[in-house]
Amino acid sequence: AQDIPLYEGIIADLFPKKNPKEDSNGLIKKALCDSFALDKLQPKEAYINKCIQIFETTSIRHGVILIGEPLSGKTQSLRSLKKALSLLKEVDGQKYYSMIVKTLNPKAMEFKQLYGSFNSDAKIWTEGVIPILIRDLTEINTPDKKWLVFDGPVDVAWMESMNSVLDDNKKLCLNSGSVIKITSNWTMLFEVECLRHAIPAIVSRCGMVFLESNTLGCDALVLSYCDSLPAILTPKRIKTIEEHLMSVIKPTILFVIKHCKF
């Protein structure tokens, strides 16, 4: 946050006739607010800005890393952005687009299950999950954007094989000798908590968006929970539940942060 004024000053020097604070994302903001309302979420300004940052980053990079602690809203930001862009496509199908999203956890399986393996006895190559997903999405002949989301820790063991996908070649090279070409409407997204085990080659090839857990806070979670309560409860009772939760959750979180060890 301390770098923002410095960055805005640099932009103002480079483009003196442009106002960097002009709101050029009004339609997206409105669509995001509509998608939040459909899902009974809270339209917090800071979180909306993060969703817009993801949209802008995916527009110029085909590899994007979302960094943030659990409950910072990484997964939900992608869901809300997907829904918002689908709403905007109905308004302007030339400028905006809908998305086809596939998600997997790369740490939930072994390397050979991810990319494939060769059985030397049977002389058979078994395709992995990533090539299968990419081939399936490639066969969908529509102008929709295709997002392949890796929701799990990043490390050298499985990320090194993504180097050729994330650079300008946009090719997945398999041990079988086959090469899968990634088209221009593809984006690879990685949801991670940290980049402690990432290699510089991967980090330099991707755009990054950092989401902080305090961007949402516990208030948004409590309010969204209260909005999802059944209609049989009167507004007065829902307000009482909200006040009780607020009075308990915040002191509990502060106590855990200050006095508990993890």
Q: DSSP readout, 8-32?
A: HHHHHHH-TTS-TT----HHHHHHH
Residue 8 has pLDDT above 70, yes or no: yes
Sign of the dihedral defined by the CA atoms of residues 148, 162, 65, 262, in that order: positive
Q: What is the average per-residue pLDDT within 201-214?
A: 88
Residue 262 has pLDDT above 70, yes or no: no
State how beta strands 171-173 and 179-181 pair.
antiparallel
State the maximum Cα–Cα separation within the chain, in Å, rounded to a whole number: 70
Q: In angstroms, what CA-CA distances link 198 with 4, 158, 206? A: 26, 10, 12
pTM of the model: 0.85
Q: What is the average per-residue pLDDT within 228-253?
A: 89
Q: What is the average per-residue pLDDT within 117-141?
A: 86
DSSP letters along 141-168, please?
-SSSEEEEEEES---HHHHGGGHHHHST
Q: 249 is written with which tokens?
A: 């959750």
Q: 256 is written with which tokens?
A: 């855990």
CA distance 183 to 61: 13
Tens digit of pLDDT for each residue in 55-68?
999 988 999 999 99
High-pLDDT (> 70) share of the chain, %: 96
Q: 74 is written with which tokens?
A: 């990484």
Do the beta carbons of residue 142 and residue 186 sit within 8 Å? no
Query: Residue 249's CB: how many other CB atoms inside 10 A?
Result: 14
What angle in degrees, to the nearest 10, is found between the helix axes of 26-38 and 45-60? 120
Q: What is the average per-residue pLDDT within 171-199?
A: 87
Tens digit of pLDDT for each residue in 77-103?
999 999 999 988 887 767 788 889 999
DSSP letter at 215 equals G
- Strand runs (DSSP E) across 81-234, as ranges? 99-104, 116-119, 124-127, 145-151, 171-173, 179-181, 186-192, 207-211
**pLDDT class of 256 with cuts at 50, 70, 90:** confident
